[in-house]
A = this chain, B = another copy of it.
Amino acid sequence: MITASPVREHPHLRVNLETAAALVEPSVRAAVDRLPDQEKAIAGYQFGWWDREGVPTPGNGGKGIRPALVLLSTAAARAAIEQAIGAAVSIELVHNFSLLHDDIMDGDIKRRSRPSAWLVYGKKAALLTGDALLVLAFDVLAESSGHRSVAAIQLLTQTLLELAEGQSMDLAFEGRDDVEILECLTMAGRKTASLTSYACAIGPCIAGVDPVTIRHLQGFGYHLGLAFQLMDDVIGIWGDEERAGKPVGSDLAARKKTLPVVAALTSTGSARDRLIDLYNRATPFSADDVRSAALLVEQLGGRAWAEAEMQRQVGIAVSHLRDASLEPAMADELATLVQRIIRRDR
């Protein structure tokens, strides 16, 4: 079993958890810099680089997990990370495209502890900026993937079509009381894990790494993504606002069918009926309603299931690391990243 360990010295690879995001950020900024002024302003706000007045906000960006996954998995597959920088940029652009459009669609008003971009700049401009970030992602990926560009582009398109399918499923679940836990995991797999799976495969794909190693890295990324989503759902119900980056209980208030809720709804008993009644109520939730819903989901075993399932997904992810023939220090870094993600450190 691979466990977290101190980073070993590997001078040739020159990437670790602490440095990965910083290696990529200048190229992300250079890409966003090519956008027209208004879209650039919105994109930089979305990335957490500046506030609505354009004043830089150091340290307010994302956790850089996805670009770290790209570079670490590339290095783990013994490929040069230089050729994966564009791929790491593409995933940051795609991730933020998807956040921009998600927040518009869901009407979410907070993102990373700040007002969502659409609330600050309007829905039209935010939607347009999302489109532009997606286009930029393809541009950067095509430019940086050389003679493997077709495979790289199609890995991205496949990922994005899965993502869209996951979002469609999510939308369809809203009106249903009978969502099964397995279809909900499939939905989360498409909506979230497809992107972390892409993150772990795209660098090795561009570098021409053997297919078996790529499949293990994809599997690692997929199950890591599911663990991440389970953690996100748990924090969204029982965490604190600083850790969640959004008001705790907002998923409940929006009656979202998150994984712990769906797990709770597969239980039986009177608490289940009370939860369904609450979820189907036409009027907005009060703070008390949110607390009641959280308590019902916990009583129905939704929290225990989610935490156990998260550990199970982490186990599968780590087994992929173990079974692939990876550079050991980098595999350790990836395992450390897993632990960090499920603890939700910065």
Contact = CB atoms under 8 A, between A and B. Distances in A.
Interface in A143-195: 143, 145-147, 149-150, 153-154, 156-158, 160-161, 164-165, 167-169, 171-172
Interface stretch (A132-140, A209-217, A294-302): A132-140
Contact of A164 (B128, B143, B145, B161): B128
Nearest to A106: B124
A89 to B, nearest CB: 13
Interface stretch (A30-38, A108-116, A271-279): A30-38
Contact of A134 (B38, B131, B146, B171): B131
Given A38-B168, A149-B149, A168-B36, A127 B101 contact: yes
A78 to B, nearest CB: 26
B150 A142 contact: yes
Contacts of A172: 38
A139 B171 CA distance: 24
A165 B105 contact: no
Interface in A213-258: none
Given A104-B127, A105-B128, A123-B105, A139 B154 contact: yes
A124 B101 CA distance: 9
A332 interface: no
Given A131-B134, A138-B153, A146-B150, 13 more contacts: A35-B164, A38-B168, A38-B171, A101-B127, A128-B167, A128-B171, A131-B160, A131-B164, A132-B160, A135-B161, A135-B164, A139-B157, A149-B153
Interface string A30-49: 00001110110000000000
A316 interface: no
A176 to B, nearest CB: 14
A125 interface: yes
A161 B125 contact: no
A134 B146 CA distance: 22
Nearest to A160: B135
Contact of A36 (B128, B147, B165): B165
Nearest to A144: B150
A164 B127 contact: no
| 9 closest Cβ pairs, A-B complex | A139-B157, A142-B153, A135-B160, A132-B164, A105-B124, A36-B165, A38-B168, A149-B150, A142-B150
A233 B156 CA distance: 37
A156 B161 CA distance: 19
Which one of A35, A139, A153 has the greatest number of beta carbons of chain B within 10 Å?
A153
